[in-house]
Amino acid sequence: MAGALVIIFIRSTILRIDKNEFDYYLVGLVAGTFCLGIILKIIGIFRPDALKGTLEGFLAFETYQIVAGEIEYKIEEIQKIKITNDDYYGKTLRTGRSFNSSFSNGVNNICEITLRDGRIHRYNYELYYPNDLQKSQRELVNYYRLGKMDINNLADILGLSKSEVGELQ
């Protein structure tokens, strides 16, 4: 109600134009703003967010070690491994009303390595495709067999049920 009174006041006292002419200006302003919003959304919707930082090194899962950059973690030094892999390049993030990108840059994945001495090392890593970690299935199953990974974590990573993971042994 107050907004309508402000518009009537601006139209009649400041701009000094009649009601019909002002309504055309108002409709044009609203339609133009709406179109501009759609254009800005379309421009930003097809690009993932820019990477804020740099990716250094590689994360490699090998049968009896994990290599993170230049650091090698032998499997006997590791107490527990926890991995998240639910983000990948181009993943649809949201369909909200913002002008931000609707696609992920794929770096919101974490590999957490807990060593026997209690130290925890966390690494963010990028996945380009949603099933990239399935290429390391043999190594990940080996970590599970050695008691380094939880069956729930392994099932989530590989996209399998617990019974299907059990069949891999």
pLDDT at 47: 63
Give 62-89 as a DSSP string: ETTEEEETTEEEEGGGEEEEEEE----E
pLDDT > 80? residue 168? no
Of 107 and 149, the structure prediction assigns the larger pLDDT to 149
Rounded to a whole number, what is the largest CA-CA distance in the chain?
Answer: 83
Mean residue pLDDT across the chain: 80
pTM passes above 0.75: no
52-106 confidence digits (pLDDT tens): 667 678 899 999 999 998 999 999 999 999 999 888 887 877 655 555 567 777 8
pLDDT at 20: 65
pLDDT > 70? residue 48? no
Q: What is the dihedral of CA 5, 10, 11, 16, to 10 degrees?
A: 140
Which among 159, 41, 37, 156 has a CA at the least distance from the CA of 103? 41
Of 32 and 17, the structure prediction assigns the larger pLDDT to 32
* Strand pairing class (89-92; 65-68): unpaired
Two structure tokens written together for 97: 């009303």
**Domain limits, the chain:** 2-45, 59-168
Of 37-41, 49-53, 55-59, give the lowest mean pLDDT range. Answer: 49-53
pLDDT at 104: 79
What SS3 string covers 94-142?
Answer: CCCCCCCCCEEECCCEEEEEEECCCCEEEEEECCCCCCHHHHHHHHHHH
pLDDT at 23: 67
